[in-house]
Amino acid sequence: APLMLLLHGFPQNWFCWRHLLEEFGTRYRVVALDLRGYGASEKPPEKESYRLELLLEDIRQVIEILGTPPGQEGVTATTGATSAASSPKCILVGHNWGGLLAWEVATRHPAMVEKLVIMDAPHRAIMGEFTACHPSQLLRSCYVFLFQVPWLPEFLLSLADFELVRSFLMGPVMGIQNPARKLTEQEMDAYLYSLSQPGGLSPPIHYYRNLF
């Protein structure tokens, strides 16, 4: 089956795709990653480990390994060139930070992306100009500038048992509005467990610290 690769946003992990894994699992080989620094993925502590180039290389390698159909690896017997049919590719789906990364992967490696689905993530090329022309968007994005400050964002997000994170994912403004779909406490714990580990908050915030 074709590979469908799902890239989550901040502050979630692969668990946010649980419903889509079930929905599309009968038609696609669906893979939901924990991006570098999230969930069960490796969490190098240095800010430099979350540069855009490294994050994109993680995704490119996953597509290369998982996106080549079985039995079509390698080179053609007649020409010695890589067969077009065996080129690794996927349906790439990204939300929030995962969407920003998906834009970049599709731009830099278009042959690897058969279809691109983006949710809640503008292309970097237009975001700066749009924000400069729309003060309301600048206000909504002010947290990005807060995240540039050392240690303070980690402190604020962890206060009162991660009350800000809970508000972001479960609150009346930014949380799911459909009462039947609201996160349960057990589902919320699936996001907070990794973030609450020692050093668990810094890697996701380092994404923003390398944004500029």
Answer for the pair 96, 9: CB distance below 8 angstroms, yes or no: yes
pLDDT at residue 60, as a whole number: 97
Least confident of 8-12, 21-25, 105-109, 179-183: 179-183
Q: 73 or 160: which carries more pLDDT confidence?
A: 160
Q: 174-207: per-residue pLDDT in tens?
A: 888 899 899 999 999 999 999 999 999 999 999 9
pLDDT at residue 71, as a whole number: 65
pLDDT at residue 131, as a whole number: 80
Q: 142 or 24: which carries more pLDDT confidence?
A: 24
pLDDT at residue 127, as a whole number: 81
Domains of the chain listed by start with CATH number: 3-124 (3.40.50.1820), 126-209 (no CATH)
97 pLDDT higher than 60: yes
Least confident of 61-75, 87-101, 153-167: 61-75
